[in-house]
Amino acid sequence: MKPDYIATIIAVTICTLSAIGAAVYHQGRELDAMKSNIESAIVKGIDPVAVKCAYGKADSVCIVYAAGKKNP
């Protein structure tokens, strides 16, 4: 094998692993922030489901929650 080919494979592998590591780290930090905000909401008496849904992920829990809320 040519050294250039091996170097390219190693570089692509390092870039891929770095991207995966960054995504995992970012997701972990986001979950920690959500956990902290939900705990603060519970202490303040705010609905924790509303805090979870405020992060903008449209899952079935948030859709049902939003549909069940009545506007004043």
**pLDDT score for 72:** 57
- pLDDT at 58 exceeding the cut of 80: no
Query: What is the number of domains present in the chain?
Result: 1
Q: Is 34 left (phi over 0), alpha (psi -120 to 50) or beta?
A: alpha
Q: How far apart are CA 2 and CA 33, in angstroms?
A: 47
Higher per-residue pLDDT: 25 or 45: 25
Give dist(CA 49, CA 31) in Å, integer. Answer: 14
Task: Give counts: helices (H), strands (E), the chain.
Answer: 3, 0
Token digits for 39?
Answer: 């705990």
Q: How confident is the model at residue 53 (pLDDT cuts 50, 70, 90)?
A: confident
Query: Which structural domain, as residue segments, surrounds residue 8?
Result: 3-68
